[in-house]
Amino acid sequence: MKRKIIRIDEEKCNGCGNCIPNCPEGALQVIDGKARLISDLFCDGLGACLGNCPLGAISVEEREAEKYDEYRVMDNVVKGGKNVIIAHLKHLKDHNQTEFYQQAVDYLKEKGIEIPEEDKKEETNGEIPMGCPSCPGSRSISLTLDDDNKNKSKIEEDEINSHENHKEIPRQSYLRNWPIQLGLMNPDAEYFKDAHLLIAADCSGFSHPDFHREFLQGKILIMFCPKLDFALNLYVEKLTHIFRTKNIQSITILNMEVPCCFGTDKIVRMALSDAGKDIPVKKFVLSMRGEITEGS
């Protein structure tokens, strides 16, 4: 299938590495003095790295890049030489992609290409891989309360407990549509007409303590995960159709502070561009404690 994916001009690239921290999928590495796309598999084509290249060496192109076809990916990887092969195999292992890792090894065997020594000796000893430790979006973090937050929580708990029957404290849902997951939504649904949209990354609804009242009132909710969902091109197409045909009044974007969440904004901006619409947009970013770190 044809899809959007980044392209690196090696003539322009000086290996500065500014693009590396801005690739949520970890698909970029500096190897032999050049930025390399080590895996088509993990490049979503959203271009989070574009604005961080001082020399304009990174662009987005549309080309054949089939999902889940490790053999096609390896055709590109082996062109980079031994170090790129090593980096790609490590990348697959770090992201717990056992099936694709084995396909990559099989490819090397079929092509008569030497398998790196460390991969010949690889043994799991029954241990379960824990994912990529360098990805901020998947890193395990314990969120402990500081003294101020402990005091605040204690006050709120006392207020609830002092109520004669705290179960009767009114709670109101402001959800106005179903489904809410973009992959399941009909872009021609009637509720989109003249709507104010809240386009939120999945985790945000669980992170903000007052998500409904603070963000959802009066809006139609659209949710997706820019990291784990695999229908991102379809999402752009759906949003483009909605923006182009439904007279959308405003868009509020809500995502988490981790890099893998930044794709939410990218997808919306791509759809707006494709639709040729200039719809008012507000963006909010939440910390993992649910605090608003960007937007107002």
- 111-160 per-position pLDDT tens digit: 888 887 665 555 444 344 444 554 555 554 555 555 555 555 555 555 55
Question: What's phi and psi for 8, nearest 5 deg?
Answer: -110, 125
> Do 281 and 251 form a contact (C-beta atoms < 8 A)?
yes
Q: In the prediction, which pLDDT does 228 show?
A: 79
Number of helices (H), then strands (E), in the chain? 9, 9
First to last CA, the chain: 40
Q: In the prediction, which pLDDT does 128 show?
A: 40
Pick the CATH number of 174-294 from 3.10.50, 1.10.3470, 3.30.1490, 3.40.50: 3.40.50
Identify whether 179 is preceded by a cis peptide bond (ω within 30 of 0).
yes
Q: In the prediction, which pLDDT does 272 show?
A: 95
Identify whether 116 is preceded by a cis peptide bond (ω within 30 of 0).
no
Q: Tell me the C-alpha distance between 59 and 71, whole Å.
A: 24
Q: Which fold has domain 2-120?
A: Alpha-Beta Plaits (3.30.70)
Q: In the prediction, which pLDDT does 200 show?
A: 96
DSSP H/E element including 283: strand 281-286
In the chain, what are the domain boundaries?
2-120, 174-294
Query: 174-294: same fold as 2-120?
Result: no
Q: Tell me the C-alpha distance between 181 and 264, whole Å.
A: 13
pLDDT tens series, the chain, 296 aa: 788 888 899 899 998 888 876 665 567 888 888 988 877 776 767 666 776 788 889 888 888 775 656 777 788 778 777 877 887 787 677 656 677 788 888 889 898 888 876 655 554 443 444 445 545 555 545 555 555 555 555 555 555 555 555 555 567 889 999 899 998 888 888 899 999 999 999 999 999 999 999 999 999 999 999 877 777 788 899 999 999 999 999 999 999 988 778 889 989 999 999 999 999 999 999 998 889 988 75
Q: In the prediction, which pLDDT does 253 show?
A: 96
Q: In the prediction, which pLDDT does 102 show?
A: 85
> Do 30 and 36 form a contact (C-beta atoms < 8 A)?
yes
